Amino acid sequence: MTRPTALVTGASSGIGTEFAVQLAAVGHRLVLVARDEARLRALADRLGGDDHAEVLVADLADPASRLVVERRLAEPGDRPPVDLLVNNAGYGTAGEFVDTDLDVLAANHEVNVTTVLRLTRVALPGMIDRGHGGVINVSSVAGFLPGRGSVYGAGKAYVTMLSQNLAGVLGGTGVHVMALCPGFVKTEFHQRFGRARSGPGFAWMEADRVVRDALADFAKGRPVSIPSPLYKTIVVAARLAPPRLVHAVARRTASGRG
C-alpha cells in the first residue's frame, strides 16, 4: 500500500513539528512547510530524509510565496497527492487593535484566515474525488472567548466555524475536516511576539499531548477537538455565562487584574 501523505504548515516548531513527528511515526510521508529552511531540513533529516519528507519553504503571509503550497496541493504532478492537510501556521501580534500597524494586522489575517481558507479550498476537491482525506485546522480556545488585543481570537473563531461547517457539508464523502482548539501550549509562539507565559502552570499543555489528543479525535470523526478537561470546561462556561460576565472576566484577565 502507498503511504498516505500529510502536508503540515508551520512545521518548523511547536505543534507543527509534533504533528510531523507523530504522523511520520504512524506511516505518513510528510510535506513540511515553513519559512525557516534550515529548521525544515533538520526536521526532514530527523524523519528519515528525502524519501520520507519533502520541504517547501514559503512565507504564508505573502500571497506569491503561498502559491508554492497551493500548487503542491492542487497539482502534485509526479508527487503523491496530499491525503491530510494540517493548517497549523499561526501569526500572533501583541498590543491593542487600534495601536497595531495596519500591515501587521493584514499579515496576521493572511496567515490565520486567508491561508486556511485558500489551502483548504484547494485541497478538498482532490480529496473528494479520491473518496478519502482530511483537513485539521489548528484554531484556539481564544476563538470562543471575547478579549482585548488584536485580531487573533477573531481569526480563530472564523477557523473553528469554517471547520464545523465543512465537517457537516462533507458527510458521506470520505473526507473529514476538524478544528483543533487548544489553550496554552508550551511552544515558541508567545515568545515570538514578546509575551511571557501567563496564568497558572497547570494551564499549560505539552505539544505532544495536544497533537496526540487531536489525532485521536480526528480518527473518531469529531468536528472540534478541545484538549484537556480544563479547556473543555472553560468553553462550556463561556457559552453558558451571561455575555456581560464573560466580557468582564476577559477585560480583567487581559489587564492583569484577574
**Catalytic residue flag (residue 152):** yes
What is the spatial distance between Cα 222 and Cα 180, in angstroms, rounded to a whole number? Answer: 10
Residue 158 cell numbers, joined? 472564523
d(CA 220, CA 15): 20
Q: Name the β-bridge partners of 198.
A: none
Distances (CA, A) of 105 to 44, 93, 149, 162, 172: 32, 8, 11, 21, 38
Q: Are strands 29-34 and 224-225 parallel, antiparallel or unpaired?
A: unpaired
Taking the C-alpha atoms of residue 113 and residue 163, their distance in angstroms, rounded to an integer, is 12
Q: How many Å apart are CA 98 and CA 95, to the nearest integer?
A: 8
Q: Which CATH class is domain 5-228?
A: alpha beta
**Residue 228 has what pLDDT?**
82
What residue ranges of the chain have pLDDT lower than 50?
Answer: 197, 249, 252-258
User: Which residue, 160, 136, 134, 156, is CA-closest to 147?
Assistant: 156
Cα–Cα distance measured from residue 210 to residue 44, given in angstroms and rounded to the nearest whole number? 22
Q: What is the pLDDT of residue 258?
A: 27
Q: pTM for the full model?
A: 0.88
Q: How far apart are CA 10 and CA 122, in angstroms?
A: 18
Cα 107 to Cα 102: distance, rounded to the nearest angstrom: 9
Residue pair 46/94 in contact by the 8 Å Cβ criterion: no
Query: What single-letter DSSP state applies at residue 12?
Result: T
List the chain domain ranges: 5-228
Q: pLDDT digit string (tens) for 67-85?
A: 999 999 999 999 999 999 9
- Determine if residue 251 is left, alpha or beta; phi over 0 gives left, psi from -120 to 50 gives alpha, anything else beta: alpha
